Structure 1
Amino acid sequence: MAVLGSDSRRWSGLLLIFVFLCSFITPVVTVKHENFKKCDQSGFCKRNRAYADAALSTSSWQAPYSLDPASIKFDNGMLTGSVVKTIVNTAETVRLPLTIAFYESGTARVTLDEERRQKGDIVLRHDSKAKKQRYNEAEKWAIVGGTTLSQGAATSKGAEKGTTNISYGPAGTFEAVIRHSPFGIDFKRNGETQIQFNNRGLLNVEHWRPKVEKPVEEKKEGEEAVVGESAKDTEEDEGTWWDESFGGSTDSKPKGPEAVALDISFPNYQHVFGVAEHAGPLSLKETRGGDGKYSEPYRLYNSDVFEYEMDSPMTLYGAIPFMQAQKKDSTVGVFWLNAAETWIDITKSSSSTNPLSLGIGSKITTNTHWISESGLLDVFIFLGPKPQDVVGAYTELTGYTQLPQQFAIAYHQCRWNYVTDEDVRDVDRKFDKNRIPYDVIWLDIEYTEGKKYFTWDPDTFANPLGMEKQLDEHERKLVAIIDPHIKNEGNYPVVDELKSKDLAVHNKDGNIYEGWCWPGSSHWVDCFNPAAHTWWKSLFRYDKFKGTAKNTWIWNDMNEPSVFNGPETTMPKDNLHHGGWEHRDVHNINGMTFQNATYHAILARDKEEDKANVRPFVLTRSFYSGSQRLGAMWTGDNQAAWPHLEASIPMLLSMGISGFPFAGADVGGFFGNPSKELLTRWYQAGAFYPFFRGHAHIDTRRREPYLAGEPYTQIITQALRLRYSLLPAWYTAFHEAHTNGAPILRPNYYVHPGDEKGFAIDDQFYVGSTGLLAKPVTTEGADGVDIYLADKEKYFDYFDYWMYEGPTTVSLAASLDTIPLLMQGGHIIPRRDRPRRSSGLMRYDPFTLVVVIGNSGDAEGTLYLDDGESFDYEEGAFIHRRFEYKSATSTLMSEDLAAASASPSRKTKDYLKAMEKVRVEKVIVVGAPESWKSKKEVEVSEELAGKSSGTKSAELEWHGKEEGKAAWAVVRDPGIQIGAGWKISFA
């Protein structure tokens, strides 16, 4: 939900009539650019961009930073020293403590801080209440592992004079070449430079300094008054050092200027990806103007952007400052650990070894310039060489995505708002009447009493427990919204406790901050405060949040934080959080702290009921690196327009490679009324979103799938049933993401890192390791799509087994009732084909295995299963099988991937026993050999409890080739358990 400037009163009768009339009008929405800063309106960004312009325009530029050789120490995988900054136009210097850590994972980390100064020194802050150190707690929130120092890292012999070289990484194949003067670092793999720090000399740490009140010079007639030195006599623009105004608000800066900036270059890398979240292409654009380029840097400053536009570098709701660079067969990356407002410029340069080559054979280098307002310069370096090496190392640091409950990856039905508990019951009944599966229904803010969270409107939601009971009968769930703004109203126990316990964010004067949001006057929970975290957990207990049940889960919205009357619709930067840190220091982490508190509140809630074993589900809008550990995200307030459907795919691909794969976009578009064609195509695309939710604005017409009318309802239902049938494959992909950080939606470059033609493709994707290749239709009136096949492999249409072979681009017909979906040869795809009302009712359904034979003649795939809700899998209560078809022996086998235990836990035994009757009901072999044509049966053997049950036969049904289509065969009811070892012989 976004800022509408609404007051907090309940809708009056007249307003309801107005909303009803407006529901027949699709609003034209455009982003309010005047509400958000551009770089030249953000003092530190403007200063550092100007600094870069000055440096790059001067051939004799000498960066004023050098590493003091006498300060260098290296021990146990860590180098320390002091970088000395020489202040322009003075003889003064500032010392910046340097740490370069080398980890066992092969990751390196460079941290640059600033020495604390004593009273009287040049850098004393003018405000004695201000903290004297830079913000250094981002690691506390973002980093959870991967920081074991390398014992194998060592100084390299033969380093050039003026450099220190450290070898590290796998077999010592990585190297950091640290230049002393000017200070810079080249990171190499196998002797070739992959990443360069300060190669262009743009490193800039705005050192601490005292505020000097300069006298106002007397203004002569015809002249403006001048403060201190004239602008032409100073190297730096001091106009925004100590305060800065925008949109009628003034940001006081008691610590003065403290930005950090660094240029990071990727030599010979043309493509860079990441720095989510932005509504633009997967391959990031240049930002210094010109045809096809942006004129603004990419901005990371979590904001409630009411109507965001397409193809833009402007900030959105979340920030993941992780960037990857890609060239043929090589991926590298950097993670800029900083929670303050950050801007990133991207430019590209070409070079050629032969000046007469006219560009033929030239190589592209991508240059980036990172600028943050405050905090440390703290950067992690990943040298790959494969995409999964980089993503895996990053997610080892920041945490793997949560393994969600199974219901969470099924379909969610939402709108702002279902207006009564009877409305919810009615929607639930109509889904059943129309045989449309769904798992979750959502409630937006109108369920509360006067926008007071942890309450229910007694007139419209008089019986929430009865509503939840009806949902539970078909294993469905309820999600209710809880936002971080707490209504400032008397006799409201939640706000009374918030104020009496002093657990809210404070303003710059140290008083509880008051702003405006949905309830009107509000206060904001300070989840950086451990006491606030503890208090927040208590509010979700069933005896406190009355009317909630075990099938009630939570949605955190507006947690950027959104403040309707705040600068850039958020909290003033000079607000104060726990520990005295300014909001400017922690802004991009704020949303994660709220989701973190809610996640642990759900754990604590169920612990009260002796059921702490249930995985929480919490959706967040605002996020930072590490938020993936806590739940799901969605891309915010999109529009019911074809460009927004199209943009959702690169946005979700970017989230996946940024370590946060549990992501989705509002199906149908939040604002406006989609045409029936658009709604249908959006459901077909949404069936491939990791987080799959239909959602709509309060002013839109109702658009539940059963209201679309035929043929649209039936087509949408088929898309939903496709998602449900493939839930085993989706859950397996989530398990892989949970264990090694692999993205769920995978762009072409990730799957085919040697295929340069496909690096920029962002309108098609692979689903996990399944071999499923999808390209949703995102263009109005389209009746076909072109799909790029990067490898020399067979691909088969998922529905009719039409065969294609790469590498090439193929055209697929895609009438409105068709989803362009291919199966890559060499894979085995698990699914469940029984249509059910919800995923919970599928728990003991049988499986179908689709064996897709490719050019090698072989195929393999995996299946992961657990109870879909508890943490018992951590104690071995799961099934993890590898299926393999070998053409040499014409056999399909099932192998156990679970680590064998001499004494399995009780939970393991109980789960395996519960799954004993879950069987494989069908095996489909696509691309079946012609030699099977005359076969009528196959031989099946199964191993149970380590003992063979003998052999038996099963019927083989042959379907020969048709023009353009592959031959295929079916083994029906082979009589084998999904969790057992078995073999099917086709020989």
Structure 2
Amino acid sequence: MSRILSLVTLIVFFGILNLPFSENVDRNNFKTCEQSAFCRRQRKYKPEVSPYEVDLNSMITVQVGHTQFVLLNTHKSHVKFRLDVYTLEHNSLRVKINEVNPIRKRYEVEHSLVTEPKLVNVNLTRLDENLIEGTFGKSAKFILNAKPFRLDLFTNGIFVMSMNSKNMFNFEHYRTKPGTNEGTDNEENEEGMWEETFKSHKDPKPYGPSSIGVDINFLNFENVYGIPEHADAFSLRSTHDTDPYRLFNVDVFEYDIQNPMALYGSVPYMLAHNEHATVGFFWLNAAEGWIDVNNDKLTVQGFFSTVANFFSTKPGVDKNEVPEVTTHWMFESGIFDGFFFMGPTPRDIFKQYTSITGSVPLPPLWSIAYHQCRWNYNDEDDVRSVLNGFEKYFIPLDVIWLDIEHTNGKRYLTWDTGKFPNPEKMQDDVAHYGRKMVTISDPHIKKDDGYHVYAVAKSKGYFVKTKEGADYEGSCWPGASMWLDYFNPDVFKWYSELYSLTNYKGSTKNLFIWNDMNEPSVFNGPEITFPKDIVHHGGWEDRDVHNLYGMLQHMSTFQGLYNRSNGHIRPFVLTRSFFAGSQRTAAVWTGDNKAEWSYLKIATPMLLSLSVTGFGFIGADVGGFFSNPDAKLLVRWYQTAAYQPFYREHAHIDTARREPWLFGNENTRLIRKAIEQRYQYLPYWYTLFYRQEKQGIPPMLPLWANFPKDKKTFKIEDSFMVGNGLLIYPITDADINQVAVYFPGENTIWYDVRTYIKFEGATTSLVPVDMQSIPVYQLGGVIIPQRFRRRRASMLAIHDPITLVVALDRNREARGELYLDDGHTYDYRQKRQLIYRRFTFRNNVLYSKTLDSTSKFETDAWIERIIILGYPKNPTKITINSGDKQAVPLHRYHDESQTLTIRRPGPSVASDWTLTIA
């Protein structure tokens, strides 16, 4: 009955509102650039010479690292702007441009930065009457050209980025509508400047146009990445013949692929990489944005001699032209607040961006294991039946999820007591097996005076407002709905308190949260979201802050879970909508994908785009949310997602059930094997997540992040790496028996993790494939910790022994790390209860040394096995020394694969020890 009612509800909503409930997105529900007035204006803005000029005589030093200028629009001499240049630590530059005396304050993004960036000293030199040079940091330099305004940036003496070198900077100042207090001109009357219409929705703009456009260009680069979220290529495609890439958080059902249209989240951050440098540009702006990307050639004649000389010394490079990626960024409102990250290495760029917006904190161990979800598990008996299935078929599981049907009529933070009469006991039963539960909590609040959340919020004035000051009402899953205004600090705090055990009746400390539909999705709104003239706390229109809304919801949710345990237990929150900084408080998934091979294929570039822009805890719904995967597709999806950071199976309410044991014994075995591989590598994953918190390096990486000088990796998006040790090649086509795998890196060795067969780096090999697994390779020179003992859940293995797989490089050396703690509390921060060790193999000796001498963690875990790949011969003797103890462990040598297995060497993972091979 619930399935039938849900389907009827969907048909009513989608039929009446003309929303896309079909196989393809109805793009008529979403704007094109031509239909977005500011995008249309900015895209056609191409003056021969920029009218913007810097008054160098206005320069003042505000403080160390902060220099200020006046910027003029010579075509509108009465409009003045303030240009602030900040030199930051970690080889980064911040540039802010705002109106000096706007008739209305312009919005500057809050909540996104983890802290105000630290300033460093800059050495300024006046090169001539038109140029100022600034040097700072280890290798960074900028040159400010005054007439016309232009900014050029250098790292290690290399010209890497420019701003306004194509004269596209265009800052639309607030103004009074013609016919009131000012005169008018032709520009003031252009369509869409004071009001525009999309379908039946009118968008009035009482302060006129407010958009900003600028060109940011990457010199000697051919590939740029980032600006998620789009179901498109990892190396961004040219938009010469398409719409620009759009950043505007919207709810898109069954999104199209290979398409620059907007999706659920927005990160206005782009990276460029070549064999010499990795750089990035981040525009801190939460309004709707569009970004054009084009690959061009730049004529270098007439440039600074240092630039021309650099390019002319490169073999095979035309001395007159170099490649350039030109990008045109256009945002509807706000200010220009741009961060330029000058690398020069991938590791540097990860650190530079996450030092600004924050890194992903170490999640609980169980959250990086396997999750089972669908819309919806029907009742408590259904939940028990699913859990019993995992027990019966010996399949590991850590989390079971409940979607919207578990609530009392889509009233979030409630339970349908007919289906879930004993939610606390249900959660306790789940916890008995070492598992957790997640429930959904969407931002739309059912309009019902009998619903306590609605009643309190209404009485306190906590909902977002129309421009007339009334509570905004729209439609979503419950029908008539309201939306909380998280921009109000009182609302933010109040909402977080709803997650306490006292307020969220039926919840336990074993329950965690999923925030969905938080773009927000408004079924009868323009583009299925808020009207832009909705007013948030502080008087800000949604036009100014739209892309922040979902982030504020999940930040408040995270705070509520944090407070629930008095800051002791690490929260877990999953969000669909996100913005820069969301990574600090939520994991992200790629939304409503589909059970087709093409969606399995696009998952890798989508996740890589997120990963390089600060989002390391990411995944795509296994099997596809919509439609029904056949057994082969489902198996391949499980095998691929086992090596992606967030691992969850999820399906639409009208799909067939697809628990792992429903596709026949052989496919059950294959799925179980894929999930078991995830659990086998959990010690490695957990170590990578800890490194991410400390260094900003995401666990899932493009090949070029580990092999930055290998040009063949720059466009690769059909394979990826987990950390610096595993190369993953997903199988994303139905009927193939071999694939061409590129092994990156000169003079590297790669080992098949299943057969231990070796492959040479910087080569492409045809590799046979079967249904047993996907191709996975360990890099020679890397040591990877694993656990081989089978457990039903990850937290039950917290003290299990560790196996070290030591893959030797050409010098017969290898290094690796292992991080352990209790898996779920903040004791690793607050009490230094952790183990962090480095393993080094060289000169036939394997060393274990601590990387944190101040730490301590009691554990029974010990080294159960050491497997050394690429060892040239059977040794005569092996000894291990730990403290004052010496042992001679057993070993076995396999000649054909050159594999040495040392059994039960015995030392604790917490101790220093050495293993010597004679």
TM-score (norm 2): 0.95
Does 2:211 correspond to 1:259? Answer: yes
Distance change in 2, residues 1:632/1:84 (3 Å): same
Q: Which secondary structure state, in structure 2, belongs to the residue aligned with residue 707 of structure 1?
A: coil
Output the CA distance in 2 between the equivalents of 1:683 and 1:255: 52
Contact 1:47-1:237 within 8 A present in 2 as well: no
Matching residue's letter, 2:587:
A
Distance 1:416 1:438 in 2: 18
CA distance in 1, matches of 2:650, 2:346: 33
Structure 1 residue 335 and structure 2 residue 282: aligned? Answer: yes
3-state SS in 1 of match to 2:196: strand
Q: How far apart in 1 are the matches of 2:618 and 2:756? A: 30
2:770 equivalent to 1:839: no
d(CA) in 2 for partners of 1:638, 1:177:
45
Matched letter for residue 169 of structure 2: L
Aligned to 2:294: 347
Which SS does the other structure have where 1:778 is aligned? coil
Partner of 1:23: none
**CA separation of 1:14 and 1:853: change in aligned 2, threshold 3 A:** closer
In the alignment, which residue of structure 1 is the partner of 2:38? 44
Q: Which residue of 2 aligns with 1:82?
A: 70
What is the CA-CA distance between 1:322 and the residue it aligns to? 0.7
In structure 1, C-alpha distance between the alignment counterparts of 2:204 and 2:232, rounded to whole Å: 33
Query: How much does 1:209 deviate?
Result: 1.3
* Aligned-residue offset at 1:190: 3.3
Which of 497, 512, 519 in structure 1 is aligned with 2:478? 519
Q: Aligned to 2:537, which of 578, 602, 616? A: 578
Which residue identity does 2:280 align to in structure 1? G
| Contact 1:77–1:154, Cα closer than 8 Å, also in 2 | no
After superposition, the Cα gap between the structure-2 partners of 1:613 and 1:586, relative to the gap in structure 1 and judged at 3 Å, is same
- What corresponds to 1:713 in structure 2? 668
Match of 2:678 in 1: 723
Q: Which residue of 2 aligns with 1:648?
A: 603
Change (3 A) 1:237 1:268: farther
Residue of structure 2 equivalent to 1:955: 890
SS for the counterpart of 2:889 is strand
- 1:9 positional shift: 9.0
Deviation at 1:45, TM superposition (A): 0.3
Alignment partner, residue 661 of structure 1: 616
Give the alignment partner of residue 105 of structure 2, picking from 110, 133, 149. Answer: 133
The residue type equivalent to 1:76 in the other structure is V
Give the distance between the partners of 2:176 and 2:87, measured in 1 at CA: 36
1:141-540 aligned within 5 A: 141-145=111-115, 147-151=117-121, 153-156=122-125, 159-170=127-138, 173-213=139-179, 234-235=186-187, 238-289=190-241, 295-351=242-298, 362-540=321-499
Task: Write out per-residue CA displacement over residues 633-664 of structure 1, whole angstroms, 9 at most, x where no aligned residue.
Answer: 00000000000000000111111100001000
1:410 & 1:13 partners in 2: Cα distance?
30
Q: Return closer, same or farther for 1:178/1:359 CA change in 2, 3 Å cut-off.
A: closer
Q: Choose which of 758, 767, 775 in structure 2 pairs with 1:803.
A: 758
Q: Does 1:112 align with 2:97?
A: yes
Counterparts of 1:414 and 1:954, CA distance in 2: 45
For the 8 Å contact 1:515–1:566, the answer to whether it is kept is yes
CA RMSD of aligned residues (A): 2.2
Q: Does 1:972 align with 2:903?
A: yes
Q: CA offset at residue 866 of structure 1?
A: 0.8
The residue number in structure 2 matching 1:921 is 864
- How many angstroms apart in 2 are the aligned matches of 1:433 and 1:190? 60
Judge conservation of contact 2:893–2:901 (CA < 8 Å) in 1.
yes
Letter in 2 for 1:777: I
- Structure 1 residue 939 corresponds to structure 2 residue 874: no
Q: Describe the SS at the equivalent of 2:885.
A: strand
Q: Is the 8 A contact 2:94 2:337 kept in 1?
A: yes
CA distance in 1 between counterparts of 2:287 and 2:5 reads: 41
The residue type paired with residue 69 of structure 2 is G
Partner of 1:627: 582
Q: CA deviation at 1:194?
A: 1.1
Amino acid at match of 2:879: E
Q: Which residue of structure 2 aligns with residue 894 of structure 1?
A: 848
Shift, 1:81, TM fit: 1.1
* Among 776, 798, 802, the residue aligned to 1:821: 776
Given that 1:402 and 1:631 are in contact with CA atoms closer than 8 Å, whether structure 2 keeps it comes out as: no
Paired residues in the alignment total 894
SS at match of 2:818: strand
Deviation (angstroms), 1:312: 0.8
Q: Distance in 2 between matches of 1:14 and 1:531?
A: 37
The structural deviation recorded for 1:370 is 0.4
TM-score with structure 1 length normalisation?
Answer: 0.88
5+ long unaligned stretches in structure 1: 1-7, 20-26, 56-60, 118-123, 125-131, 216-227, 290-294, 943-947
Q: Which amino acid aligns with 1:149?
A: L
Q: Is the 8 A contact 1:681 1:777 kept in 2?
A: yes
Aligned partner of 1:128 in structure 2 is none
**CA distance in structure 2 between the partners assigned to 1:246 and 1:403 by the alignment:** 43
**Aligned mates of 1:359, 1:533 — CA distance in 2:** 55
Is the 2:178–2:188 Cα contact (8 Å) retained in structure 1? no
SS in 1 for 2:45: helix
Instruction: Note the 1:838-877 alignment, pairs <5 A.
Output: 838-874=793-829, 875-877=831-833
User: What per-residue deviation string (whole Å, max 9, x for no partner) do you get for residues 304-346 of structure 1?
Assistant: 0112111111101001111111121211111011000000011
Contact 2:726/2:777 (<8 A) preserved: yes
Q: CA deviation at 1:352?
A: 6.3
Tell me by how many angstroms 1:784 deviates: 2.2
Deviation per CA, 1:512-532: give whole Å up to 9, x if none. Answer: 111110101111011111100
Secondary structure in 1 aligned to 2:151?
strand
Give per-residue Cα distances to partners, 1:267-288, cap 9 Å, x unaligned. Answer: 1111100101111111001111
Identity %: 41
Structure 1 SS opposite 2:767: strand
Q: Distance in 2 between matches of 1:798 and 1:146?
A: 44
Q: Which residue number in structure 1 is paired with residue 51 of structure 2?
A: 64
Please, which moves more after superposition, 236-245 or 862-871?
236-245
Aligned with 2:111: secondary structure?
Answer: helix
Closer/same/farther in 2, CA of residues 571 and 354 from structure 1, 3 Å limit: closer
TM-fit CA distance, 1:62: 2.1
Report Cα offsets for 1:40-95 as digits up to 9, x if no partner.
0000000001113xx2xxxxx2211111122111341111011011236xxx4200
1:757-800 C-alpha deviation (Å, 9 max, x unpaired) = 2100011111113x111101011112222211121211111011
Q: Distance in 1 between matches of 2:704 and 2:336?
A: 30
Amino acid aligned to 2:888: S
2:311 maps to: none
- 1:381-439 alpha-carbon deviations (Å, 9 max, x no partner): 01111111112100010001021000000000000000101100110011001000010
Match of 2:521 among 562, 565, 586: 562
Amino acid at match of 2:689: F
* Secondary structure, aligned partner of 1:456: coil
Describe the superposition over 1:357-376 as per-residue Cα deviations: whole angstroms up to 9, x where unpaired: 99967521010110000001
Identify if the C-alpha distance between structure 1 residues 102 and 699 changes in structure 2 by more than 3 Å, giving closer, same or farther. Answer: same
Q: Which amino acid letter does the alignment assign opposite residue 736 of structure 1?
A: R
Q: Shift of residue 12 of structure 1?
A: 4.1
Report the residue type matching 1:893 in the other structure.
Answer: Y
Question: What residue identity is the alignment partner of 2:428?
Answer: K
Q: What are the superposed Cα offsets for residues 658-690 of structure 1, whole Å, 9 maximum, x if unpaired?
A: 000100000000000001100000000110110
Tell me how far 1:441 sits from its aligned partner.
Answer: 0.5
Letter in 1 for 2:81: L
Quick check: 68-77 or 108-117, which moved more? 68-77
Report the residue type matching 2:107 in the other structure. Answer: Y
Cα deviation code 1:448-500 (max 9, x no counterpart): 01111111111111111121111111111110000111000121111000011
Query: In structure 2, how many angstroms separate the alpha carbons of the residues matched to 1:592 and 1:677?
Result: 36
